[in-house]
Amino acid sequence: MLRNMILTNLLLASVCLSAAADTPDLPRDAATQTGLGLTLNHPNRVYRQGDFLRASFRAPHDCYVYVFYHQADKTAVLLYPNLEHGDHHLQGGQAVNVPGVEDRVQCRIAGPFGREAVQVIASQTPIAYFEDALRTVQGVAVIPSMQVDAVCQQVAQQSGLRAEFVTLDTQASPPREPAK
C-alpha cells in the first residue's frame, strides 16, 4: 500500500508541471523517466531567438498524446495534436517528431525569453479539456500553463496517465556586428 502511494505521488509529480516554467528552482535536467524518451533537437537545451524547437518521443503503449510548449510568459502552446495532425492516438512504440520538418506549423523561438519546458502527456483515453481546446481554435491552442497543470491534477488518478517534461533556456540573439 505504501509503495503504491509513493508510486502514485511520483506519478503525480511527473504528470503535473508547475505553471511557473521559468522559476529558478525548476531543475535544469527535469526529464522524468516514464518511458516516453522525450528529447529536444538541441542537446544542450539552449535556444536562441529564431531557432526552431523540435521534440521527439516514443509512445510507451497505445495512447493519446498531447505535447505542450510551456513558454516564459506562463502560457502553454499545444503543439500536438494540431489541425495538421489531428489523430493523436498512437500505437505502442510509435516514434513522433513534433513539429515535423515539413509541418506548416513550426515552433520558432521568440521573446519573452527565459526558462521554458516541453511536456508530453500520454493517456489511455482522450482528455476532454484538451480535446475541447483543439476544437475551438483556428490554428494552435494556447492555454495558461496553470490550466494545463490543473487539468493534469484532475485526471492524474486515471490509470495509465504518464507525462514527461524537459526544461530549456531561451535567449535573445546577440546583436549583429555592424558591417565594415
Domain ranges of the chain: 2-171
Instruction: Give CA separation, 147 vs 36, 85, 143, 152, 155, in Å.
Output: 23, 23, 7, 9, 12
Tell me if 88 sits within 8 A of 133, measured CB to CB.
no
Q: Which three cell numbers stand for residue 122?
A: 500520454
- Kindly report which listed range (16-20, 31-35, 137-141, 146-150) carries the lowest average pLDDT score: 16-20
Q: For 51-62, how does the pLDDT look when each residue is reduced to its tens digit (9 = 90+)? A: 999 999 999 889
Higher pLDDT residue, 78 or 13?
Answer: 78
Give the closest residue to 110 by CA, choosing from 25, 54, 49. Answer: 49
In the CATH scheme, what architecture does the domain 2-171 have? Sandwich (2.60)
Instruction: Give CA separation, 128 vs 28, 31, 77, 78, 125, in Å.
Output: 31, 26, 17, 14, 9
- Mean pLDDT value of segment 9-38: 46
Beta strand spans in the chain (E): 39-40, 46-48, 55-58, 63-70, 75-80, 89-90, 95-98, 114-123, 142-144, 162-171
Residue 118 — pLDDT band, cuts 50, 70, 90? very high
pLDDT at 102: 87
H-state helical runs in 32-100 = none
Give the closest residue to 17 by CA, choosing from 165, 169, 168. Answer: 165
